[in-house]
Homo-oligomer: A and B are copies of this chain.
């Protein structure tokens, strides 16, 4: 049972009746850093809304290549779980906990019911879609139109912003994986950024100095 006042803080726009129903019908699940919340190909049985922590969403193809798509933050939901859930569907994305994550699962029937009953829920769901859609467009833009150097800078910016730190605790190999590139390419591009004073490289982490430099 979820404390209603906690929900109220995270979702100030929700009607009291909706918050009450959420507390009653949703259950909380906890994940640890690195846990997979969802794997490509697994069934989706409920919608998920993040309470705390960060969730990283990746597209993964059959052969194991993956591509970073976007982060889901507290107070946001997984768009895929919301639509897919409708028709007992298979996930096309994988989601990974970054740090410890708490989330609530919303049963499918409640999902539908609230949609027609509570305007704030409907707006929440639609807003979620819009946000994800826009993020996917940005991702597509970068893959379609930009070279790896720009994509790397964007990747670093994004992560610095979402992780709320200028230290990105990833290895070159990990970053290469999420950009569907190879470790050597990323290492070389990193070196260029470091030479221009935009980052500092340490083992297992990248320190961001200034990525907006127009030198």
A interface residues with partner B (beta carbon < 8 Å): 59, 61, 65, 67, 69, 79-80, 82-84, 86, 92-93, 112, 115-117, 119, 122-123, 126-127, 129-130, 132-134, 136-137, 139-141, 143-145, 180
Contacts and interface: CB of A to CB of B under 8 A. Distances in A.
A140 B67 contact: yes
A59 B137 contact: yes
B139 A59 contact: no
A197 to B, nearest CB: 27
Contacts of A59: 137, 140-141, 144
A185 to B, nearest CB: 15
Given A59-B140, A140-B59, A145-B180, A133 B133 contact: yes
A86 B130 contact: yes
A89 to B, nearest CB: 8
22 contacts: A59-B137, A59-B140, A61-B141, A67-B140, A69-B140, A80-B133, A83-B126, A83-B127, A84-B130, A86-B123, A92-B137, A115-B116, A115-B122, A116-B119, A116-B122, A129-B129, A133-B133, A136-B137, A140-B140, A140-B143, A143-B143, A144-B180
